[in-house]
Amino acid sequence: MATINWNPAELLKLSGSYWETCALHAGVKLDLFTPLAARPQTAAELAEELGLAERGLAMLLDALAAMQLLDKQGENYAVTGFAADFLDRNAPDYLGHIILHHHHLVESWSRLDEAVREGGPVRNRVSHEPTAAERESFLLGMFNLAMLIAPKVAAQVDLAGRRRLLDLGGGPGTYAIHFCQQNPQLQATIYDLPTTQPFAAVTLQRFAMTDRIDFAAGDFLAGSLPGGFDVAWLSHVLHGEGPGDCSKLLTNAFAALEPGGQLLVQEFILDETRAAPLFPALFSLNMLLGTPQGQAYSEPELTALLQQAGLSQVERLAIELPNGAGIMAGRKGF
């Protein structure tokens, strides 16, 4: 783990770093980047188009220009090339949904001391009990993130010979889509809450995968799962549950597999000390804020959970992923 050379200046920079975060969130929430991607405008012109106060908008535009997300020439503002690619709502690689999801988490993070004091959540579960806006930003935000990672994962996970994949808690189905694109013989089922189905339907239609991927609605902790699969994929599902429900979920997934089937789990994985890497340690706090028992798990803990569910040949795949993520694999015996 890299050593951090703390000093007062760095400490105060960290303490105030939310200023930039909030400026970005406001720019995305107000959708400033989309009209500026179409044409440069002055603050007055953009304020009139969006129905905003010119004074406040000009201040925000200047801050976004200082952050190098906008270019300012004279009185005109335009998007940078990076912002055009990732912050214009019409761009294929738009990341605004995950940024809005982060925005919806800010209020609960400001109450972290309360969650630590009580040992429990201070917000509703965004995957189960959100408002319509929170549900959209969460599900499409998960799509944003998966689109950055799924092509690499699908290219490096060997599914040769596998025929039926269960994407458990698969949301819009991003991973199922990329696994099927990478493996022409593969068909898949997304299993998630009924409220997720409309988002999955749009994504499957967008990628022309409606003939190879279907959707089964249900709660993966309540009752049995559909069966007959030779591979199951759980991406960032376990961290939302405590150890007991993780064990129950993995046992259900094990039952859904045919003999010889493979179970793959992607998570933000802590090391044995649980004090590194940084992102999984912070992500564990995010689960404290929003779930009754969720947390990030260490590699030894995940290994034990998979083995307790009946899986053998448990290992961590040699795939480098960002933010301390990793993929654990296990097999169901014949």
Q: Residue 223's pLDDT is what?
A: 73
3-class state of residue 254 by DSSP: helix
Share of residues in the chain with pLDDT > 70 (%): 98
- Residues 190, 325: one domain? yes
Is residue 231 within a helix (H) or strand (E), and if so which, with residue range? strand 229-235
Do both 223 and 253 map to the same domain? Answer: yes
pLDDT digits (tens, 9 = 90+) for 80-99: 999 999 999 999 999 999 99
239 catalytically annotated: yes
126 and 86 in a common domain = no
The answer to whether residues 18 and 162 belong to one domain is: no
How much of the chain exceeds pLDDT 90, in percent?
88
Query: How remote is the C-alpha of 45 from its chain's centroid?
Result: 35
pLDDT confidence of residue 71: 98
Residues 131, 86 share a domain: no
68 with 196, same domain?
no
Residues 145 and 259 in one domain: yes
Q: Which amino acid is at 305?
A: L
**CATH number of the domain encompassing residue 53:** 1.10.10.10
Name which of 294, 154, 159, 303 is nearest 238 in CA terms. Answer: 294
What is the pLDDT, as a whole number, of residue 128? 53
Contact assessment for residue 234 and residue 169, using Cβ atoms and an 8 Å cutoff: yes
Mean pLDDT, to the nearest integer, of 182-188?
A: 97
The DSSP code for 69 is S
Does 128 lie in the same domain as 160?
yes
Mean pLDDT across the stretch 291-319? Answer: 97
Cβ atoms of 214 and 245 closer than 8 Å:
no
The pLDDT, as a whole number, for residue 308 is: 98
- For residue range 234-277, list pLDDT tens digits in order: 999 999 999 999 999 999 999 999 999 999 999 999 999 999 99
**Residue 33 structural domain:** 8-91
Among residues 101, 104, 178, 239, the one annotated as catalytic is 239
- From residue 247, give the alpha-carbon distance in Å to each of 196, 241, 286: 24, 9, 21
Predicted local confidence at residue 125, as pLDDT = 65
In a domain, 104, yes or no: no
Quick check: is 172 in a domain? yes
Residue finishing a domain among 25, 57, 91: 91
The angle, 0 to 180 degrees and rounded to 10, between the axes of the packed helices 96-109 and 132-156 is: 120
| Phi-psi map region of 292: left, alpha, beta (phi>0 left; psi -120 to 50 alpha) | alpha
- pLDDT per position as a tens digit, 118-128: 999 998 866 55
**pLDDT of the residue at 144:** 86
Q: What domain count does the chain have?
A: 2
Boundary of a domain, candidates 57, 91, 125: 91
Residues 60 and 159 in one domain: no
Whether 178 is in a domain gets the answer: yes
User: Within 10 Å of residue 168's Cβ, how many Cβ atoms?
Assistant: 25
Give the model's pLDDT for residue 134.
81
Over the stretch 111-149, which tens digit does the pLDDT of each residue have?
999 999 999 999 886 655 567 778 788 888 888 888 889
The candidate with the shortest Cα–Cα distance to 218, out of 248, 197, 202, is 197
- How far are the Cα atoms of 83, 165, 299 from residue 246, in angstroms, in the given order? 39, 20, 14
Domain annotation covers residue 107? no
Residues 135 and 57 in one domain: no
Q: Which residues pair with 70 in a beta bridge?
A: 79
| Spatial distance between the Cα atoms of 334 and 64, rounded to a whole number of angstroms | 58
Return the half-sphere exposure (C-beta side, CA atoms, 13 A cut-off) of residue 96. 21
- SS3 percent helix, strand, coil of the chain, rounded to 5, is 50, 20, 35
Same-domain pairing of 17 and 135: no
> What CATH number has the domain bearing residue 270?
3.40.50.150
pLDDT higher than threshold 80 for residue 317 = yes
